[in-house]
Amino acid sequence: MESLASGDPERIGRYRLIGRLGSGGMGRVYFGRSAAGRPVAVKRIHAHMAADPAFRERFAREVAAARQVSGAFTAPVIDADTEGEIPWLVTSYVPSLPLDTAVRQHGPLPESTVRVLAVGLAEALTEIHRCGLIHRDLKPGNVLLAEDGPRVIDFGIARASEGTAATQSVIGTPGFMSPQQVNGEPLTARSDMFSLGAVLVYAAAGVGPFGEGAMPTMVMRIMNNPPDLSSVPPSLHGIVAACLAKEENVRPDPGQLLDTIGDVPASGSWLPPAVMQGVQHQTRQINAALAQTTDASVATAVAPGAGDEAQTFAFEASPQPDPPRPTQAMPPTAQADTEVAGGDPAYAHLYRGRPAQPQHPADTPQRTDEREHAERERRRREEERAHRRRLDAERNATRQAHRRARKASQPSLWTFAAVFPLLIIPLVQIPLGVAAAYGWAWFSASDMYWGTPWYYVGVFAWPEGLLHATMLGYFLFNNLIGLSWLFQSLRSSFVVGVVLALLVILTTNAALVHFGFW
């Protein structure tokens, strides 16, 4: 947890902020406390996103859906303001270690812990999907290892599903996105199951199923490579492999995963001793941070309904007497200030010799509000530009990854050039044709063939035997090579490869027709 920066608010709503927990694509997350001293996590939305009416509508819908998710498996939503100038969301703070931090500090988790993690995540997704949500960013950083079990957090990019699928842009974490999410296809809840399988591999191996790398590299691996499950315990290998299937209709749902794994032991700690010590240390730090915020000398009250601009009033322990009323002998303060400022010293002793300072127009509340508004607008425009640059970079990276993936699967022209002499010189065709002729003659003469037996005169019968075997070899070899090239080129949209493959097939069969093979 980091300290609050100079531009951070001291309060959001009725919640006092203590430190920063992190920042994401939607907003910044703070650690704070409620009026009763309970620890909370407060997410404040970025200003440029708050200015988007469509985002506000979606955010309000997601908050309403997230309130229905049980706190037994997640960090429950306890408060929110979706109508204020800057929307915010408050969830209960769970003393814990994020899965990525635990693995990075203490290494991969044992099999017993991974089994409990799998069951806990499946229960959490069951509850999330029941409320019509798709998480869309289930990753190790959004999985908390608490003393009583794993919790799923951060519904920041979850979208309430309408109908059977939620259409989305390509948003997520490389290495833990499903192929459908990478392609920007409409998502169903099975996309979260792919992410669950990737999280389990990370917990068991210390690295995701597709390794590490830049986003284009990860996208290509997700689309084309099988996952690396070598470190997954054998008892979980089958269910994890099913979760990581490329086709979403093959993946299990959370209920099927729970039925496959079954009950896990409920006695004793589910975490390794080193990780449990880290969780307990985190709990002590949170309690210490909460204790430091207590001030017995000042009672604080917050004006209700003030949102992010909540006003704080401080009442001293000793009440102050009411100021005396102005009389003829003591003019009102404004009048006395004017007279002293004008040079009349008649009442100077009442102000301890301090002359009144004229209020500069720049110091008026109106001018101050204008400067603050201009500064907020400047920051909002900068954040909007930064957000657009991030989106453009992600789109470009995705397009480049798709192009590289297609290019990687394209047949090479150099390979074609190396194979081309073999298509003309009968180094392969003669032995292949002789073997095929003898094989077909043997098969047609056996009991497995019901037709008329075919007789081959033999390779040494000149010229019929050798010529027939050579043409048969050209037919088999050249057509197989051409068809292989044709399918690879069609899959990768390689126009030059398609043209070359068709030329090989047409030329070979035209020559065979000319020499009387057909």
With left for phi above 0 and alpha for psi between -120 and 50, is residue 38 left, alpha or beta?
Answer: beta
**Which of 97-101, 120-124, 154-158, 459-463 is the least confident region?**
154-158
pLDDT at res. 379: 76
**Annotated binding residue at 139?**
no
CA distances from 489 to 225, 420, 496 (A): 19, 16, 8
CA dist., res. 116 & res. 108, Å (int) = 14
pLDDT at res. 124: 92
Reported as a pLDDT band with limits 50, 70 and 90, residue 288 is confident
b/e per residue, 403-441, with b = 16+ CB within 10 A?
A: eebeeebebeeeebeeeeeebeebebbbebbbebbeeeb
Q: Looking at the predicted structure, is the pLDDT value of residue 123 above 90?
A: yes
Q: In sequence order, which residues have a C-beta less than 8 Å from that of residue 36 and are 6 or more positions away?
A: none
pLDDT at res. 471: 86
**Which of 38-47, 127-136, 142-151, 171-180 is the least confident region?**
171-180
Most confidently predicted of 148-157, 244-253, 265-274, 410-419: 244-253
pLDDT at res. 261: 93
List, for residues 32-64, the tens digit of each pLDDT value: 999 888 999 999 998 888 888 888 888 888 788
pLDDT at res. 56: 86
Q: Looking at the predicted structure, is the pLDDT value of residue 392 above 70?
A: yes
b/e per residue, 473-510, with b = 16+ CB within 10 A?
A: bbbbbbeebbeebbebbeebebeebbebbeebbeebbe
CB atoms within 10 A of CB 54: 7
Strand ranges (DSSP E) for 36-130? Answer: 39-45, 77-81, 88-92, 97-98
pLDDT at res. 406: 67
Compute the half-sphere exposure of residue 517: CA atoms within 13 Å on the CB side of its CA: 21
Most confidently predicted of 6-15, 368-377, 381-390, 445-454: 6-15
Reported as a pLDDT band with limits 50, 70 and 90, residue 6 is confident
pLDDT at res. 31: 92
- Token pair in block for residue 31: 């650690």
Task: Dihedral sign for Cα 305, 310, 311, 312, please.
Answer: positive
pLDDT at res. 267: 59
Mean pLDDT of 208-224: 89
On average, the pLDDT of the chain sits at 79
Reported as a pLDDT band with limits 50, 70 and 90, residue 517 is low
Active-site residue identified among 81, 137, 154, 337: 137
CA dist., res. 1 & res. 97, Å (int) = 12
pLDDT at res. 206: 94
**Which of 22-31, 63-72, 309-318, 319-328 is the least confident region?**
309-318
Q: Looking at the predicted structure, is the pLDDT value of residue 345 above 50?
A: no
Most confidently predicted of 192-196, 403-407, 458-462, 494-498: 192-196
Higher pLDDT, 162 or 437: 437
Q: Looking at the predicted structure, is the pLDDT value of residue 253 above 80?
A: yes
Q: Looking at the predicted structure, is the pLDDT value of residue 319 above 70?
A: no
To the query of whether residue 308 is one of the catalytic residues in this protein, the response is no
CB atoms within 10 A of CB 85: 12
Q: Looking at the predicted structure, is the pLDDT value of residue 298 above 50?
A: no
Higher pLDDT, 496 or 371: 496
pLDDT at res. 256: 94
Reported as a pLDDT band with limits 50, 70 and 90, residue 90 is very high
Q: Looking at the predicted structure, is the pLDDT value of residue 352 above 50?
A: no
pLDDT at res. 312: 38
pLDDT at res. 99: 95
CA dist., res. 94 & res. 97, Å (int) = 9
**Which of 289-298, 376-385, 399-408 is the least confident region?**
289-298
Can you tell me whether residue 389 is helix, strand or coil?
helix
